[in-house]
């Protein structure tokens, strides 16, 4: 119909390897859900719990900060670990700055530089400069945009700390952009009038992920276990019987009774005559 499907994605990796100028995720795993972000995180939690013991591991997470993708959502999926360091994705921070300062584009770069120096005093100076550029004609709108931008930076200040500033992350430049890994999905599934059923979209997502993780060929060539027809019939009836509704109460047969033949003038005989008529 007119309902739009959303692909909720979580990617897991053990780090980033460098080959020349190219960076590549180490042992990447991609988890997706067309149901909800919560469902994707639950799948990620199952994978992490069954493949890793994170008690002595520093885990770095990175999201856009949108609904369903906040620091607490990551923490629930990660579980117990040595330390959880959450970051707001730089691409989305830059996009937010560009959006809020569309009326003052010359101050975008100074604000970005102050932000990635991770010095609030420098940011405050830039914000004051931006405030001085507010025009009288659009004072109300521009003040509101600046207020929202300032609140966004204050609210996410902990998550804007560059990795170089964190003791456990010295020498790490990044953890691999999730945004660039969206492209195989968006290029294949969006635009050009493409429409997908729920099952079709889920199948295509599985194919894309299989190609990215190198598991597609194995999945397509592995022999499928075939259940013998006789066993399949037995299983079908067994499942059908198991699914039959059961009240949970023990049924007691109805009691049978009769009125003995008596003289028509006695009370029992008269009752029998009434029931018989």
pLDDT score recorded for residue 268: 61
22 phi/psi in degrees, rounded to 5: -90, 140
- Per DSSP bridges, beta strands 58-63 and 83-88 are parallel
Residue range 184-202: average pLDDT?
84
Give 15-65 pLDDT, tens digit per residue: 888 778 777 888 889 999 999 999 999 999 999 999 999 999 999 999 988
Judged against a pLDDT cut of 80, whether residue 121 lies above it is answered with yes
pLDDT at 164 (0 to 100): 81
pLDDT at 270 over 90: no
- Reply yes or no on whether the pLDDT at 192 is more than 90: no
DSSP code per residue over 153-194: HHHTGGGG--GGGSGGGTT---S--TTGGGHHHHHHHSSTT-
Please state the rounded mean pLDDT for residues 174-202: 79
- Residues with Cβ within 8 Å of 268's Cβ and at least 6 positions away in sequence, in order, are 259, 260, 262
Q: What is the pLDDT of residues 107-120, one digit of tens each?
A: 999 999 999 899 99
Q: Which of 49-58, 67-76, 143-152, 234-243 shows the lowest per-residue confidence on average (mean pLDDT)?
A: 234-243
CB-count exposure of residue 128 (10 Å: 0-12, 13-18, 19+) = exposed
pTM of structure:
0.70
């Amino acid at each position: 119909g007119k309902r739009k499907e959303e692909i909720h994605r979580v990617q897991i990796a053990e780090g980033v390897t460098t080959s020349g100028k190219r960076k590549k995720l180490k042992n990447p795993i991609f988890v997706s859900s067309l149901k909800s972000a919560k469902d994707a995180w639950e799948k990620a939690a199952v994978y992490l719990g069954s493949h890793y013991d994170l008690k002595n591991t520093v885990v770095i997470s990175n999201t856009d900060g949108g609904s369903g993708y906040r620091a607490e959502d990551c923490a629930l999926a990660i579980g117990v670990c040595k330390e959880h360091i959450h970051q707001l994705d730089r691409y989305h921070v830059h996009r937010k700055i560009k959006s809020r300062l569309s009326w003052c584009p010359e101050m975008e770069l100074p604000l970005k530089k102050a932000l990635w120096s991770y010095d609030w005093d420098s940011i405050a100076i830039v914000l004051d400069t931006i405030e001085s550029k507010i025009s009288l004609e659009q004072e109300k709108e521009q003040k509101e945009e600046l207020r929202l931008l300032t609140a966004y930076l204050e609210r996410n200040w902990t998550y804007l700390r560059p990795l170089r500033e964190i003791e456990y992350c010295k020498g790490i430049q990044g953890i691999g952009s999730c945004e660039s890994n969206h492209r195989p999905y968006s290029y294949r599934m969006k635009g050009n009038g493409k429409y997908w059923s729920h099952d079709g979209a889920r199948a295509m997502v599985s194919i894309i992920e299989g190609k990215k993780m190198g598991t597609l060929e194995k999945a397509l060539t592995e022999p499928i276990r075939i259940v013998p027809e006789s066993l399949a019939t037995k299983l079908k009836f067994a499942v059908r019987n198991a699914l039959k509704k059961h009240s949970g109460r023990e049924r007691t047969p109805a009691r049978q009774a009769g009125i003995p033949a008596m003289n028509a003038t006695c009370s029992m005989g008269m009752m029998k005559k009434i029931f018989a008529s």
